[in-house]
Structure 1
C-alpha cells in the first residue's frame, strides 16, 4: 500500500513540474501558486502533492461538485473548469481544471486529475481581482461554477471568452479578464498537466494491472486510537477552546472535541462571527467551507507526527462543524477575495493556539496587487499582477521563528526582482528583513520583511493584509511580534498610512512600502535565542 501511495504522490508531483514548465504566468512559473492532485472515481483524495497548503483538501469539494453536476454526461476528451466558491472553489482567481481518467474502453471513470492555479486577473472592479472593498462576489471577477473547457478534445475558447470577458463586464463598475490570453495559456497548461497525470496513471495500470491499482488506491488510514492519542498528547484533556480576532473585530471561535473511542475529532466553530456581507465598505474576508477544511487538514498534518500521505485517509477522522452564514461558511453571493489569504491564516493560528503548540505567525499572506484597467486606455488592454509577501513565523518550545518566510497556508515564492522589473512597469526599491519585528522570548519570533515598489506609470494598486491592529501573540510569556504597516509614499513627499486593506490609484514616481508582521516569541525572555 505504501508503494502505491508514493507512486500516486510522485504522479501528482510530476503534474506540478509539468504545469510549472508549460505556464507563462509569473504566479505559476515563478511564485509556484498552484497545486495538483489525484482523486478516486467518487472524488476521494488519493494524492495531493505538497504544493500550496491552502489548496490541501479543498480541491476535493470542486471535484465532487463537478461529478454530481455532470453525472451521466462525462466522456473521454472532456475537461472541466470551475472557480466558484459555491462549487468548491476558494476565491475567484484560483481556477481549477479537472480531467477524468477513463479505462481503456472509455466507459468507466477510474480516477480524476485536477490542478488549481492562481491567475493574476479574472476581471472585476480592480486589476488583480483581489479588491480591498468588494461587498459581493461578482465584484471580484468571472464566476464559473462549471464549464466543459475541453469537449471531445476541442478547447472551447469562445465559451471561455464569454464567461471570463463578456459576462463580468455586465456588472456595474466591472471589467472582464484584462489579460484573457494569459488566462487561456494558463488553463491550457493546467489541462496539459492533468493529461500528464492521466498518462502516468495509465502507465501505472499497465505496469501493475487495473485490478491491483484499483485495490491499492484506497487511502491508508491512521488507526483511530493512534490518531486521537497523538492529538491529545499535544494537550491534556479532550476539550480545547480558543478564539482570535480579525483586525475588524470579527471573531473565530473554536472548540475541539477528541473522541478516543472512535479516533475522530470535532472542530466546532460555533460562536464564530457572522459573514461580512454588504453591510460595510470592506467585507471580503469570508472564507468558503473548502478553505476552512484546508486549514484544518494542514494543521493536523503539522500536529500529528505520522507517515501518512496527503490523501483521504488524513481527512476521514475529522468533522468540521461550521455555522451556516458565518465567516467560515458564507452565503453564495458573499465576497471572499481575502478569505483565502487572510482568514485561513488566522484559522491556523487559532487551531495551533488551542493546542498551545507555538506562538502566532505573521497572520496573513499580505496580498499585493497592481495593474491597469482596460478603461485606462492603454495599448493592448489592461493587466494585473499579484503577489503574496512573506513575514515572520511564530517561535515554539524549542525553535526560533523563521525570518521572512511564506508560512502556513501559503507555500509560494516571491517573484524574482529581475522578472518583476522586466515584465512590469515597476522598480523594486527595497526588499529586506524588518529587524526587530520578531517577538522576544526564550525563543524569538521570526522577523517580517520590508518591500518597497516604485511605480513607473500611473496605475491601480491594492493591498489586503491583516495583523495591522492585533499583534501576533506570543506564548508562555513570549512577547508579541510587531504589527504590520502599509505606507503610500507619494512623489510629492506626502506619506499616507493606507491601513490593512486599501485600493489606491498611484502616479508614476509613487511608491508602496509594505512592512509585514513578525512572529510571536515563545517563553519568558531572558536572553532571546536567535537574536537579531
Structure 2
C-alpha cells in the first residue's frame, strides 16, 4: 500500500515535518557517534565503514544519517526478513544478528544488528533501530573475508541468516562463537573468524548504538506522543514519494521522452542493462533490468537488496531537496530483475564483489539512463591483507585481517568538474590513515597521492584517481578486488572516459626463487596482477594500486562535437544549455 494512503487528509504542518525529519535523522546520527566511540576496529572506528538507521514497525526505512548508501537501502530488506521469520516472537531486550544476502544482507563482512523498540504501555513494536558494520575478518578462505577468487558463498566466511545475539537482555557468547568460528571452518579450505575478540567487541558496540537509538526514540515519543510521532513518520515517507514522482515527471519533460535506456559492462564483459519507462500521469516508473548477464562463477553477483539500494541512492541523489533517504523514494518505482541474472543470483552464489563493485556499475547505468553525469571511477578498489587461518594440516591458527577501500575520481556533470581522490557513490568511507596503518600493521605506505592524467577530458573535467603503494614488512597474504581495469568510466556529451585502473606487484628478487642475475645481484620485477588477485607477498614486496579517474562532460575546448558519446549510445540533448553558470543552474532546477 502506498504511504500516501495513510496520510492525514489535512496534511502535515510544514514546520513539524522539517522538525521530525531532523529529529529522526538525529537519532541515527547519535547512534553512529556511539558506534564509532565504542568500537575498536580500524574498519569501524577509523574508516567509518558502518551505517545506522531507524525503521518503521513494518520494516520500512524512516530516516538515516549520511552513512554508507549501499547499506541503507538494503537494511530494510534485512529488518523485514527478520520480522517475517520471528512474527510475534520478539521480546523486549532481544537483539537480532544477520549478514546473509539471502536475508537482506549485502555481503558477509557487513553484519546487521537489529533491535525492536517496544511501547512501554501497549508492549507493541513501534520502531526498529539497526546498525550495519563491516567487520575486517569473519572467516573464509583468505584473511579479510573479501577473497577475489571466491566462487561460492561458503568461501567468503560465516553466513548468518538469523541469530538472537541477545535474548531478553542476555548475550549469547557461545552461540556467537559457534556461528563465527566453528561453522565457517567446516567448509574445505576455509577458516573461522581469525580475530573473534575484535568482532565480538564491535558487535557489542553495535548493540549499544541500537540501544542509544531506542532511548532517543522513547524521548521523542515522550515529548510528542506516539500518535503524532508515527503520523509524521508517514508524512516524511509521503514527502519523499511525492518528490520522486515530481522528479520522474520533470525528467520525461526535459528529455522529451518517457523511455530511457542504458547499458554498461563489467570487466569480464557481463552486461548490466536498464530500461526505464516513466508514467508521466502518476509520476511512477518501471526499472527493468532485462538483458543483464547471467550469474557469474566469480563473486560479482549482486543480491537483490543491493540493486534496490543502488536505485534508491540514485533517486535520492538526483533530488534537489534536503529530505531524508527513506522508503518513500522507492514507492513510485517498479524494479524488475530477471531471475538467474547476476543481479538475482542463486542461493549459494559468491557475492562479496557484487556488493562493492557491481553496485557501483548499477549506479553508473542508472545515472547514464537519466543522463545525469559522467561515470565516476566505478570501483571501490578493495584491498585486504592479513595472516592466520587454517593450515595445510587442518589446524587453525589465530591471525588478523585488514580491509580498506581506495578513492578515485568522480564524474563531471553539466556544470561541474569531477572531484579528485574521493570515495564515490555507494561507499562513502574513509581511507586507512597512513600513520595509524603503519603503527598497527606491518606495512609502509610509500606513495599516496593523486594520479595525474587519469581524469576524463571535456568542457568539464572528471576527477583524478589516486596512487597508493604499500610495502609489506613481513610475508602476508594480500588480495585486491577491483573493477574498471579493462573498461573505462564513460564520458558524456563528447567528454572522454576516465583512465583505467591498474594493480602492479613490485616483486623483490630472491635467491631461493632463482631470481639472481649473472653478477649475483637480485632483480626487481613489476607484474600486472589484473583486477582480481590474491598473492602471498614476501618481505619487501610492494603493491601499487592506481585507481580509475572520472569521465569528462562536454566537448573539450577546440574539438568538434560528435553525434554520440563514442560507444553507440544515442546522443541525448544536454541537460544544461551552453551559457553562464546561472543558466546552467536554471536548466538543472528540480533535477
**Do both proteins adopt the same fold according to a TM-score greater than 0.5, normalized to the shorter chain?**
yes
- Tell me, in whole angstroms, the C-alpha distance in 1 between the residues paired with 2:191 and 2:335: 37
Q: Which residue of 2 aligns with 1:85?
A: 101
- The aligned runs of 1:107-506 (5 Å cut-off) are 107-218=123-234, 219-221=237-239, 222-223=241-242, 226-233=246-253, 235-277=255-297, 283-375=298-390, 381-492=398-509, 493-506=524-537
- Tell me, in whole angstroms, the C-alpha distance in 1 between the residues paired with 2:60 and 2:370: 28
Please state how far the C-alpha of 1:374 moved relative to its aligned partner: 2.6
1:229-268 Cα offsets, whole Å, 9 max, x none, are 2332553311001101000000000000111122211110
Q: Is the 8 A contact 2:451 2:466 kept in 1?
A: yes
- Tell me, in whole angstroms, the C-alpha distance in 2 between the residues paired with 1:511 and 1:330: 36
Secondary structure of the residue aligned to 1:56 is: helix
- The aligned runs of 1:502-517 (5 Å cut-off) are 502-517=533-548
Is 1:11 matched up with 2:5? no
- Tell me, in whole angstroms, the C-alpha distance in 2 between the residues paired with 1:235 and 1:461: 47
Secondary structure of the residue aligned to 1:217 is: helix
Unaligned runs of 5+ in 2: 1-16, 510-523, 560-591
Q: Is the 8 A contact 1:81 1:96 kept in 2?
A: yes
- Tell me, in whole angstroms, the C-alpha distance in 1 between the residues paired with 2:303 and 2:97: 18
- Tell me, in whole angstroms, the C-alpha distance in 2 between the residues paired with 1:212 and 1:105: 16
Please state how far the C-alpha of 1:106 moved relative to its aligned partner: 6.7
**Over aligned residue pairs, what C-alpha RMSD do you find?**
1.6
Q: Is the 8 A contact 1:441 1:527 kept in 2?
A: no
Displacement over 4 Å in runs of 4+: 376-380
How many matched pairs?
A: 523
Secondary structure of the residue aligned to 2:286 is: strand
- Tell me, in whole angstroms, the C-alpha distance in 2 between the residues paired with 1:67 and 1:97: 13
Secondary structure of the residue aligned to 1:451 is: strand
- Tell me, in whole angstroms, the C-alpha distance in 2 between the residues paired with 1:233 and 1:506: 56
Secondary structure of the residue aligned to 1:486 is: strand
Q: Is the 8 A contact 1:231 1:304 kept in 2?
A: no
Secondary structure of the residue aligned to 2:116 is: strand
Please state how far the C-alpha of 1:309 moved relative to its aligned partner: 1.9
Change (3 A) 1:58 1:502: same
Please state how far the C-alpha of 1:430 moved relative to its aligned partner: 0.7
Q: Which residue of 2 aligns with 1:519?
A: 550
The answer to which of 403-412 and 49-58 deviates more is: 49-58
Secondary structure of the residue aligned to 1:4 is: helix
Change (3 A) 1:106 1:188: farther
Q: Which has the larger radius of gyration?
A: 2
The answer to which of 370-379 and 333-342 deviates more is: 370-379
1:493-522 Cα offsets, whole Å, 9 max, x none, are 121100000010111110110000111111
- Tell me, in whole angstroms, the C-alpha distance in 2 between the residues paired with 1:20 and 1:360: 31
> Normalising by structure 2, what TM-score?
0.86
Secondary structure of the residue aligned to 2:471 is: strand
Please state how far the C-alpha of 1:228 moved relative to its aligned partner: 2.6
- Tell me, in whole angstroms, the C-alpha distance in 2 between the residues paired with 1:217 and 1:59: 18
Change (3 A) 1:458 1:441: same
- Tell me, in whole angstroms, the C-alpha distance in 2 between the residues paired with 1:417 and 1:27: 14
Secondary structure of the residue aligned to 1:207 is: helix
> Normalising by structure 1, what TM-score?
0.96
Q: Is the 8 A contact 1:76 1:106 kept in 2?
A: no
1:414-454 Cα offsets, whole Å, 9 max, x none, are 01111101111111111010001101111111100000011
1:36-78 Cα offsets, whole Å, 9 max, x none, are 1111111011112210111121100000000011112100010
Q: Is the 8 A contact 1:235 1:356 kept in 2?
A: no
Structure 1 residue aligned with 2:83, among 52, 62, 67? 67
Q: Which residue of 2 aligns with 1:29?
A: 45
Change (3 A) 1:299 1:234: farther
Q: Is the 8 A contact 2:190 2:390 kept in 1?
A: no
Change (3 A) 1:100 1:234: farther
Q: Is the 8 A contact 2:118 2:126 kept in 1?
A: yes
